[in-house]
Structures are given as C-alpha cells and as structure tokens.
Chain A
Amino acid sequence: MKNFFKTCLLRGTPSMVLALGAGFVMASSADIRAALGMGAAVLISMILTSIVVSAIHKFIPAYAKLPVYLLIITGFVSIIEMLMEAFFPIVVNMLGAHLAALAVSAVIYRDAEEVADHNGEWTSIKTALSTGIFLTVIMIVCALIREVLGNASIWGHEIAFLANYKVSALAGAFGGYLVLACVLAAIKKLTGAHEHLEEEENE
C-alpha cells in the first residue's frame, strides 16, 4: 500500500510531475471548502470519465478521440456542476468559472487519453481514484495554509488572534502558486521523489 501511494505521488499525480491542473489547484485552494468541492468534482469526473472511456475506447477511431473524450468530460463536469449548484451553491460561488473549466482540464483529459484509453475499467478507476485523491489532498493542504495564513480564517470562520498578522498575498494568485510550489517541493522531498527522478535521469 505504501508503494502504491508513493507511486501515485511520483508518477500518478500529474500535478506532482507535470504541474498539470496547477491553475485549478491554485484557484480552488484559497478556502478549504472550495478545495474539498473542487477535489470532489475532479475525483468524480475522473472516475466517471475513466469508466466510460475504458468501456468505449475500442469503438472510437483514433482521429476522433480528442473530441469524443472532451465531450464525455464536458458532459460529466456539467452534470456535477448542476448537482453542486443545487446542493453546494456556496462552493460553486467560490469556484466560479474554474469549475466549468474542468471540462478542458489537462489532468482529466490526460487520465482519459493515457490511462483509460489503454487499460481496462478497474485499472482506470484505480488510477483515477489515486490521482483524484492526491489532487484533493494537495488542494486541501494548500488551502489550509492559504486560508489560515492568508485569510486568518478556517472553514470560513475568522481566527481572531491571527487577524492582524495575515499575509493577504497568500490568498491571491501569486500566493496560490507559491504555496503550491512549496507543497509539491515538500512532498517530493518527503517521498524521495527527487532521488527517484535523478535515478531515472541517470538510467
């Protein structure tokens, strides 16, 4: 199990390796509720897309894969957006256009095109699950740092004693990327990813 998570971190999480999805990770990590909402949206849309793509990929001509996969992703994202708008309107307000922009997210498309298109349902679901979970974890960690230090609040509740010490820049886009970079660096260091990558380069 440890190896599974480590592998996911090193290879399976595009935000870790390719920095894919850094835009929506940054956009949704200013508040923990937004991070959870976006994480759930990404996770569900990835799983559903993987199931459908791995089931029908044999019937899709190679030249039509891009529009077909994008259409499938868009469909699921739209459904998820409708459900979230109905049951989690506050989160949708926080995420704004970034939720709809998931439809053209490289993370989900990569998952569909590189994994689901070449594997069976179970492998695809497992990969989508690991990628989605780790993206959510990264977003939550970033959100925790940014909301507490940048907004002096947690889950929307003000932390009174921090109110005069908050670093507002962390709540903005620059702060978002800065925190994301630090979190990714920390994870790589903790998991030994840098050594792994160096080994790969030497090979």
Chain B
Amino acid sequence: MNIKHLLKTIAILLAIVAVFGVAMFGLNFLTGPIIAENNKGAEFAPLLAVMPDAENFEEVTSTLADIPESVIAVYKETSGKGFVVRAKASTQYSKEPMELTFGVTADGKICGIQLDVYTDSIDFRTKDANYITSFLEKDSALADIGTVSGATYSSTAFKDAVSAGFSALISNQLIAEGVKSDSQILAEMIPTLAPGMLKLEDAAVSGNIEKAWKSGNDAGFAYVIKSGEASYLALVNATGACLVYDVAGADVTVAQTAVADEAKAHAAAAQKSYVDALTTKVTRLYASAAEITSIEINTFNTVVAAVSFKVDGAEYYGFYSRSIGFHQMDVYFVIDANGAIAKMDANQFIFDKEYFHGFAGMDDAAYKAGFEGLTTDTWNGDAAVIATATMTSNAVKQSTDDVFATFNAIKGGAQ
C-alpha cells in the first residue's frame, strides 16, 4: 500500500465520518428535545399515573428529614398540586418488597395510588379488587381502611407503606395531618394490647358494637363499642377474659362492665374452644393425667387454652398456642409446677418443604426434646431455631414466649 492509497483511504473515511457527523448533528436538533421529553416521560410515568394533572416533578427526598425506611422517594409537583411518594413494603411471604406509588394533594388527600411491584404468593388484589382504590380521597388518618381477609399480611404491609409515606410528608410539614376518629385510634391499639391476635378479619357487628374483628388464629376478638358519647376498645381472648380500654389507652374494665359484658357475649357466640383439643393432647402425652381443669387466662397472646392437671400427684400446666409461621401453627407445652418445660409438641412444624430452600429435614423428636427443662430464665430462643425455616422458628419462639408469659401470669396471679 503506497502513501497515496493510504491518504485516499483516510480521506474517504474522514469524508464519511464528516457527512454522517453533520447529518447526526442536524438530526439531533430535531430528535434531541423529543428524546429528552420521552426520557422524562418514562421517568415520571408512574408519578403521572397517580397525579395525571401534574405539570412537572422535582425529587425532594434528599431535602427531607426523618424519612421512614420504607419510603423510596418523594417528589414535589412543581406547580404546587401536591406530592408523589414511592414506597416499599415487605411481608414474611415476600420474595421481593412490594413497591407502590401514591399521589397526595396539597390538602393531604390521596389523589391516585397504584401498586408497581408485587411478588407475594397471595395477591390481595384478587381477594379484594377494590382495596387499592379504597385509599383514594383518604387523608393520613386512612379512616375505614382495614385489611384484606385472606391476605392480611400483604394488605397490612401495603397500608403501612402508605402510612409511612404520609409520615414523611407530615413530619416535614409538607401536608397537614389528618384527624383520626376515636374508632381509628382504638383500632390501632389492638396490635400493642393484644399481640397474639393475628390476622385480624372484620366480623359482624350488632348492638353498640361499631366495629368487630376476629383473629385469624382464633386467639380472640376485638371490638370498638360505643357507650354514651365515648367509644371503647374491648378485647376478649380465647378463654373469654375481657379487658376494656378508652381512647387514651387506660384500662377501664372495672368502670365499663356493660361494654365488657356486650363484648363477652358477642365473642362467646363465635369463639371456638380449644380446651378439648388441649385435654386430648395432654392425655396423649401423659396417659395417667388426672384432674384436668380448664383455666381462664387473662393474657392476650397466642395461647388459646390452658389447663392444669396432675400426674402421679405432681402438678402440671398444659398450654395450647396458635402462632402463625408459614401456615397456622398448633403448638403445645406442658410446664411443671417449677416453671420448667416438661413436654413440647406441635401438630406439624414444616408444612411445604419445597418452599424451604436448602431444607435438610429435621429430627422432630430431638427438636422437641431441646425444649425440655427450659424455664423463663434459661429460655433464650435458641431451642426454637430450625435451620432455613425462619418463619416456623419465629412462630415457635413466639409460642414459647407466650406460654411462659401465660404461665407466669397464672402463677403470679396478676395476669
């Protein structure tokens, strides 16, 4: 190749580059703004979906303080129409967090909401197609927003994510806080006052009962009951014990006997008794068990039945706990008079092995034996651990905690 050919080749290549360069430079004037608009549209598409009349958005996440972990981003509508929040939420069934986007108008009401990512095995949208749209027009109080029966965890997580988004806006004084009704305040006290009532579902109301919930694990009922001008929260556990609270969270059971009686009567008609099942279990564990006596308990955890009994003159206490792991768990404990676990049993530990990746099986007998002899002082949760089955382990741990709490309440007398 001589220098002339080389120069010719270079000239041709440069000419082609120049021609295309100029063409693309010119074309960029036409397509550049359109592409930029498209990119902006793609970025803001989820935001526009929940606030269609928005003109533009500006992300303000980094300028806000005390943002809950579940809030992914907060956008401000530049013409002052409100804000759009992107949030995420996880449940114990989630492979990946669910993600949602909702718009809040300047006066603090939800103007649009959508679920962007959802991977739970149970889809609350198929169980209640209107659940998501029921959030529209609600303020931060989220009045009358409950959970979806059969998809309690995921719908609760969805609602909590919306609440977290509101918290971010309210704590940064971007919107005013919605006013919660007494009924709502009382309902929000349930998980704290009755932590064993899991998977609450709406129940039928009657008389002075404004709202009623039945726990999915049969641990009891919760009611908001009107008495005069005030509303009260009444909790009835699986053995029929009742506590009444006012909106300030004070125990007013003694003063509000009518409320307690109404709650007890309502619960008695629907509460399933687990005493017989526990009695049967006790007699299987101890063939010589005698004087089996049901005990009413005043704890509001996952324990649904308790009995006392004697074996060869020695006193024992039997407990039936219904915690929830991957599925409903039925866990039994027998505790001796000194507070040490004598026996532990469960109907089933592992339900669907295919969901437990890497599950190598478990020795049920050895696992149960690991609880024997444990007392409140020596129990630290380790005995409940089942490798790779975190949800089941947590459920057994909760049951053990609850049984010890109930035993101590019985023995202490101040349940």
Contact = CB atoms under 8 A, between A and B. Distances in A.
B275 to A, nearest CB: 45
A78 B30 contact: no
B129 to A, nearest CB: 15
Contacts of B24: 75, 78-79, 82
A86 B9 contact: no
B8 A82 contact: no
Contact of A86 (B20, B31, B42): B31
Contact of A68 (B16, B19, B34): B16
Interface in B4-44: 5, 8-9, 12-13, 16-17, 19-20, 23-24, 27-28, 30-31, 34-35, 38, 42
How many A residues touch the partner, as a band?
A: 10 to 19
A21 B16 CA distance: 25
A89 interface: yes
A interface majority secondary structure: helix
B1 interface: yes
Contacts of B42: 89
A89 B38 contact: yes
Nearest to B41: A89
Interface in A67-89: 67-68, 71-72, 74-75, 78-79, 82-83, 85-87, 89
Nearest to A75: B20
Given A85-B38, A86-B30, A86-B38, A61 B9 contact: yes
Contacts of B13: 64, 67-68, 71
Interface residues of B, number: 20
B22 to A, nearest CB: 11
Given A71-B17, A78-B20, A79-B27, A87 B12 contact: no
Contact of A72 (B16, B30, B31, B34): B16
A64 B17 CA distance: 14
B20 to A, nearest CB: 3
Given A64-B12, A89-B42, A79 B34 contact: no
Given A61-B5, A75-B20, A79-B20, A87 B34 contact: yes
A89 B36 CA distance: 11
A169 interface: no
A64 B9 contact: yes
Nearest to A78: B24
Contact of B1 (A60, A63, A72, A78): A63
Contact of B12 (A68, A75, A82, A86): A68
B73 to A, nearest CB: 22
Nearest to B20: A75
Contacts of A63: 1, 9
Contacts of A61: 5, 8-9
Interface string A102-144: 0000000000000000000000000000000000000000000
A67 B1 CA distance: 16
Interface in A178-202: none
A75 B23 contact: yes
A164 to B, nearest CB: 14
A59 B12 CA distance: 9
Contact of B23 (A60, A79, A85, A87): A79
Contacts of B30: 86
B16 A86 contact: no
Nearest to B42: A89
Q: Which 6 A-B pairs have the closest CB atoms?
A: A75-B20, A86-B31, A86-B34, A64-B9, A89-B38, A82-B31
Interface of B: 1, 5, 8-9, 12-13, 16-17, 19-20, 23-24, 27-28, 30-31, 34-35, 38, 42
Interface of A: 59-61, 63-64, 67-68, 71-72, 74-75, 78-79, 82-83, 85-87, 89
Given A75-B23, A82-B31, 14 more contacts: A60-B12, A63-B9, A64-B12, A64-B13, A68-B12, A68-B13, A71-B13, A74-B20, A78-B20, A79-B27, A83-B31, A85-B38, A86-B35, A89-B42
11 contacts: A61-B8, A64-B12, A74-B20, A75-B19, A75-B24, A79-B27, A82-B24, A86-B30, A86-B31, A86-B34, A86-B35
